[in-house]
Every structure is written in C-alpha cells, then in structure tokens.
Amino acid sequence: MTVSIWQQAHRRRETAYDVVVVGGGIVGCSTAYWLGRQYPSLRVGLLEAGALGAGASGRNAGFILQGTHTDYRSDMERYGERVARRLWAFTRANRDLLAAELRGTAFGWRSDGSLTAAGSADEDARLRASLPPLRAAGAPVVHLDAGKTNDRLAASGFHGGLFVTTGAAVNPLRLVRHIAARGDADVHTQHPVRHVRWNDRTVRLDTPERTFRAERVVLALGPSLPALVPSVSGVVRPVRAQMLATAPTETTRVPVPVYSHNGGFYVRQLEDGRVLAGGGRHQHRDAEKTRADTTTPAVQATIERYLHTHFPWTQGLAIEQRWSGTMGFSPDGRPVVGAVPEHPEGVFATGFTGHGMGYGFRMGRLLATLVTDDERPESLDLFAASRFETPEAATPQDASRTRAE
C-alpha cells in the first residue's frame, strides 16, 4: 500500500508527555492513576497495544489475593519469615487501598472472605501450621476442619481449609477500566509500541500511528517486556492459564473465592450463578509454557474433572465458555521491579506470576513514586530485580533514601 504525504505527516506526529506508561492492564492503569493522583502537574500518557484489559488483567478470575497462592508456611520456607510477612502486608494493603480509594460498585467488589481448601491431608497440615504465624502477622484467618470446609462450599473431598475474612473478588476487566477512567492520563489504545529509543534523558516510543516522547517511562508489561528490553528476558517467562465458565444455576453454593491443591485450582461463583473454574497447569507444565491464546482439551478436561469431583452438583451444568490468558512468571514467584538497564529514566514491572490483581493497585503507587521521586519506595526491596544476577537493577534515582509509597 502506498502512503500519501498527508498520511506520512500524520504518522510522524510526535506527542510529548512528562511520563509515559506502557501497558493497559491492572499495573499500568494503576500507575497512571497514581501519577495523576500524587503528581497532578505531570502530563501522563498511557499506551496500550489493544484495548484496556485485553491481556491477562481481563482474563483472570478476579481474586484479590492476600499473601501468595500457596500456604503461608511454604512462603516462610521459601522466602524467610520476614519477607513472607511483608508480602502478606503488601497484598493486604492493596486490598484495603482498593476498598478505600475506588467505587466498588463499578467493578463488582465483593469482600465476603476467601478460602484456601486443602486437597490432601498434607496440605491441610501445612494450612494448620500456617495459622499461628499468620495470626502473629495480624492476618484475620480461621482454620476449618474437613466437615465445615465441605459444608461451606457444598463440596466434597476437601481435608480442611483456611478462611481469610478479608478476602475479596472483583470483575477484573471492569476494575481496570474503572481505574483508567478515574485517572487523569491521556489513554491511547490500539497503540502497540514497536520500538523504544533511549536518547540522553529523552525517551521516544514508536507506534504505527505516531511517536511519543517523554522524560520518564514505565513499562508495565508481562511476558512481552523482553521484546522492548531484551536484557530482562531472564526475569519473566510466558505461562498460559486456562479457565471455563458453566451455565448459571439458581442457587449460590460457593459463597467465596476458593483456592485449592496448593494453588493449582481455583473456583468462584458469580452473582448470576455461573461457576468459574481454572488452573490445572501443574499437571501440564510443559504444554502451558506458551503464549498461544488457545484452550486445550487436556487442560480443560483436567479442570472439569476437578470441578465435578469436588463440586458434584456442577456435573449437570453445561460449559458455556472456555478461554485462556498469558501470564508473566518470575523465577521465584514474586513480582520484579527495577530500572531499565543502562537507562535509569525507565522503570519496569513484570513477573506477577498470575496475581496482578493482588498486587497491582498498590504496585502502581510504588511505581509512580519510583519513576518521579528522588527517594526509593520502602517496599521496593521485596520486588527489586537486583535479587537476580541479571539484570542489574539500579533504581532510577539515589537509592540511599526511602519513603513510604
């Protein structure tokens, strides 16, 4: 196709901002929101390759996770007691910030609690062992025996459960779009960034439509981050998640979001009676290390088998929809945040390992502070890319001072 001089001039348009955020998911929209909230004099642009929430942020179950997907005892063994406690506190603060800052009715906010159900006696023993340190950390948790767990969920086969009274769930797509609408950033959808040019304190981001110029850039991307910053390819990898939704049922039998089998499966019943179920990739690990936006018979059968085994009343419900989404997994399961190597005017956030909803809103506030202030956010060390050998992640400014983000 040929291009006229008028079209060429239009494509060469350059739009300038103080800060450009790349990525229209939960983390990118939250970062743009907090930049406007905390630094109203800044001109902020938000670039998204497709529609807002088109990626993993609009394809998940909407759980506002507290802690991580596994039991707290395992987190203590993996990260140490101090880090496990701080991760719990960060995600709890994320939940509270959502509740305090935004209008929950706009995105289906439900805060009836959440339940981690044990798929084995060993898992239940670990949940029981998690109870004392969780309570010591101030977490509002209660252990339920097998009978109470199964009764609460109209389920069978669970060995016990840990109920978190502050658990919450949302419509994730509506949440992302609500945050973007509440913010002051200029939102540019259908603007995929093809190339980033780092030029002596000025960053240019080329899209098919136009070029954007900024003094600072936040790359809030999942597994697509290495396409723009190849040097960070070691800290994030693509993993596919698959889900399904049943036809509605008139009775609410799963009143709270459920994780089980060490986070391998999750279930939620919506207000309209549909049952959402997902997971199963732990039984198909190699096949799910992909970006392919497709469902597979093998994983879908695994999810259905789990659902019908533990929630037998779903056997008569038709499956109305099946879908997948690509997540960015980090090497250790924690988000990864840092400065773009050799380009401190840019920062990135990636590797949320399937739990962007549990971190994203507060992470946006952290990133807004990180990209604009001369002080380092106090929670940054939990997520700093420097915990890995590569990339080296210096903060954009002097790292010797801290402040609460």
CATH of the domain at 321: 3.30.9.10
Whether pTM exceeds 0.85: yes
Domain membership flag for residue 89: no
Residues 309 and 343 in one domain: no
pLDDT per residue as tens, the chain (405 positions): 676 877 666 666 799 999 999 999 999 999 999 999 999 999 999 999 999 999 999 999 999 999 887 889 999 999 999 999 999 999 999 999 999 999 999 999 999 999 999 999 999 999 999 999 999 999 999 999 999 999 999 999 999 999 999 999 999 999 999 999 999 999 999 999 999 999 878 999 999 989 999 999 999 999 999 999 999 999 999 999 999 999 999 999 999 999 999 999 999 999 999 999 999 999 999 999 999 999 999 999 999 999 999 999 999 999 999 999 999 999 999 999 999 999 999 999 999 999 999 999 999 999 999 999 867 888 999 999 999 964 443 333 333 333 344
- Residue 153 to residues 21, 115, 156, 251, 289, Cα–Cα distance (Å): 41, 9, 8, 12, 32
Residues 290 and 141 in one domain: yes
Which tokens hold the place of 193?
């960034």
Which tokens hold the place of 245?
């939704």
Residues 230 and 270 in one domain: no
Domain membership flag for residue 354: yes
Residues 162 and 246 in one domain: yes
| φ, ψ for residue 58, nearest 5 deg | -110, 10
Residues 310 and 245 in one domain: yes
Domain membership flag for residue 44: yes
Domain membership flag for residue 11: no
The helix (run of H) or strand (run of E) holding residue 214 is strand 211-220
Domain membership flag for residue 81: no
Residue that finishes a domain, picked among 290, 309, 327: 327
Residue that finishes a domain, picked among 286, 303, 327: 327
Burial call 291-323: b when 16+ CB within 10 Å, e when fewer = eeeebbeebbebbbebbeebbeebeebebeebe
Instruction: Give me the residues paired with residue 339 across strands.
Output: 347
Residues 301 and 194 in one domain: no
Residues 42 and 151 in one domain: no
If one counts the domains in the chain, the total is 2
Domain extent at residue 279: 110-166+238-327
Residue that finishes a domain, picked among 327, 362, 388: 327
Residues 392 and 250 in one domain: no
Maximum C-alpha span of the chain? 73
In angstroms, the CA 192 to CA 224 distance is 11
Closest CA to 98 of 151, 169, 148, 181: 169
Asked if residue 344 lies in contact with residue 394, where contact means CB atoms within 8 angstroms, the answer is yes
Cis amide prior to 192 (ω within 30 degrees): no
Please compute, for residue 98, the number of CA atoms within 13 A of its CA located in the half-sphere on the CB side: 39
Domain membership flag for residue 70: no
Residues 252 and 381 in one domain: no
Radius of gyration of the chain (CA): 21
Domain membership flag for residue 5: no
